[in-house]
Structure 1
């Protein structure tokens, strides 16, 4: 997740549409609400929760530059992918 000014947040969930909705409504944790982190700019799905947790921990350990490169590789314009993810869940 990112803000318009590109503050980044890395997390994992078992229900991406619900979690994106929470961020957009600022119902999620205080960091994302405080910094207006409401845009889904990158995501990945995994078959097992353990895999998602491992990747989350890895990405959280990266420098910002590497996280930005990951986003730009698949979403160079930093478009908000949240609306499509939420629409696909209905």
Structure 2
């Protein structure tokens, strides 16, 4: 099963949210409808990056890796060079 690791940016405070899902379109709607506690007060959110991985375990590992960047150069490279395909 394909999973997506994604980065959302709050249009309200410009902060980022990193997550993973098997249905990217549905997950974005979920976030923007205020159904996620971490992002409900930071709406609207826009998708600024995503990548596909082949399993849930790979998605979890990749999500953790991206979170470990803590907004540094590697994170900025993803946002600036990767973008949304």
Q: Give the TM-score, by structure 1 length.
A: 0.72
Q: Is contact 1:23–1:33 with CA below 8 Å preserved after alignment?
A: yes
Query: Equivalences for 1:1-90 in 2 at 5 Å?
Result: 1-4=8-11, 5-27=13-35, 29-36=36-43, 38-65=45-72, 66-75=74-83
Deviation of the 1:3 alpha carbon: 1.0
Partner residue, 2:3: none
Could you list the structure 1 runs, at least 4 aligned residues long, displaced by more than 3 angstroms after superposition. none
CA deviations 1:32-66 (Å, max 9, x no partner) are 11122511110011111111111001111112123
What are structure 2's unaligned runs of at least 5 residues?
A: 1-7
Partner residue, 2:4: none
Q: Give the TM-score, by structure 2 length.
A: 0.76
Q: Which has the higher strand share?
A: 2
Q: CA RMSD in A?
A: 1.6
What are structure 1's unaligned runs of at least 5 residues?
A: 76-80, 82-90
Q: In structure 2, how many angstroms separate the alpha carbons of the residues matched to 1:41 and 1:10?
A: 10
